[in-house]
Amino acid sequence: MFSFQNIFSYQQQLSEGKTSCIDAVQFYLNKIKKNERLNAFVEVYAEESLSRAKFLDEKRNSGKSCGKLHGVVVALKDVICYKDHKISAASKMLENFVSNYNSTAVEKLLADDAIIIGNCNCDEFAMGSTNENSVYGSVKNALDESKVSGGSSGGSAVAVQAGLCMVSLGSDTGGSVRQPADFCGIVGMKPSYGTISRHGLIAYGSSFDQIGIFANSVQDVTKVLEVINGKDEYDSTVNQQKSLNLNLDFQSKKYKIALFRNAMEHQSLDNEIKKGIYELAENLKNDGNVVEEINFDLIDYIVPAYYVLTTAEASSNLSRYDGVRYGYRYENNGEDLTTFYKKNRGKGFGKEVKKRIMLGTFVLSEGYYDAYFTKAQQVRNLLSSQTKEIFNNFDAVLLPTVPTTAFEAGSMNKDPIAAYLADIYTVFANLTGIPGISLPLFRHSNGMPFGVQVLTNKHNEVTLLEFSDLLLKNYKRY
Ligand code: GLN
Predicted confidence pLDDT, tens digits, the chain (478 residues)? 899 999 999 999 999 999 999 999 999 999 999 999 999 999 999 999 999 999 999 999 999 999 999 999 999 999 999 999 999 999 999 999 999 999 999 999 999 999 999 999 999 999 999 999 999 999 999 999 999 999 999 999 999 999 999 999 999 999 999 999 999 999 999 999 999 999 999 999 999 999 999 999 999 999 999 999 998 999 999 987 666 777 777 777 899 999 999 999 999 999 999 999 999 999 999 999 999 999 999 999 999 999 999 999 999 999 999 999 889 998 878 889 999 999 999 999 999 999 999 999 999 999 999 999 999 999 999 999 999 999 999 999 999 999 999 999 999 988 888 899 999 999 999 999 999 999 999 999 999 999 999 999 999 999 999 999 999 999 998 8
CA of 54 to the centre of ligand 1 (A): 38
Q: Which atom of ligand 1 is nearest to the CA of 175?
A: 8
Distance (Å, whole) CA 322 – CA 337:
10
CA of 152 to the centre of ligand 1 (A): 6
Q: Hey, which bits of 277-369 come out as E strands?
A: 290-294
Alpha helix stretches (DSSP H) within 143-270: 154-161, 178-184, 218-228, 261-264
Query: What was the pLDDT predicted at 241?
Result: 67
Contacts of 427 (CB under 8 A, 6+ apart): 174, 175, 302, 303, 306
Q: Which atom of ligand 1 is nearest to the CA of 174?
A: 8
Which residue among 77, 78, 176, 438 has the greatest number of ligand 1 atoms within 8 angstroms of its CB, and so is best to mutate? 176
Distance (Å, whole) CA 125 – CA 140:
19
Q: Which atom of ligand 1 is nearest to the CA of 430?
A: 8
Q: Report whether 54 contacts 130 (CB < 8 A).
A: no
Report the candidate in 389, 388, 394, 453 with the shortest Cα–Cα distance to residue 423.
Answer: 453
Write out the H or E segment, with its range, that includes residue 234.
none
Contacts of 16 (CB under 8 A, 6+ apart): none
Sheet holding 290-294, edge to edge: 41-44, 115-120, 73-77, 167-172, 210-215, 187-190, 436-443, 449-455, 396-400, 256-260, 290-294
Distance (Å, whole) CA 421 – CA 313:
20
Q: Hey, which bits of 113-218 come out as E strands?
A: 115-120, 167-172, 187-190, 210-215
CA of 116 to the centre of ligand 1 (A): 25
Q: Which atom of ligand 1 is nearest to the CA of 171?
A: 9
Which residue among 152, 182, 190 has the greatest number of ligand 1 atoms within 8 angstroms of its CB, and so is best to mutate? 152
Q: Report whether 190 contacts 437 (CB < 8 A).
A: yes
Termini Cα distance of the chain: 27
Class of domain 7-228: alpha beta
Question: Environment class of residue 355 by beta-carbon count within 10 Å: exposed (0-12), middle (13-18) or buried (19+)?
Answer: middle
DSSP 37: G
Distance (Å, whole) CA 190 – CA 437:
6
Query: What was the pLDDT predicted at 415?
Result: 86
The two beta strands, 210-215 and 449-455, are: unpaired
Ligand 1 pocket residues where CB is under 6 Å: 126-129, 152, 171-176, 204, 310, 423
Please list the active-site residues.
77, 152, 176
Is the alpha carbon torsion for 386, 186, 442, 4 positive or negative?
negative
CA of 384 to the centre of ligand 1 (A): 20
The pTM (predicted TM-score) of the whole model is 0.97
Report the candidate in 201, 276, 6, 308 with the shortest Cα–Cα distance to residue 190.
Answer: 201
CA of 253 to the centre of ligand 1 (A): 34
Query: What was the pLDDT predicted at 456?
Result: 98
Distance (Å, whole) CA 312 – CA 193:
19
Question: How far out from the chain centre does Cα 334 lie?
Answer: 43
Which residue among 171, 308, 423 has the greatest number of ligand 1 atoms within 8 angstroms of its CB, and so is best to mutate? 423
DSSP 3: -
Query: What was the pLDDT predicted at 242?
Result: 62
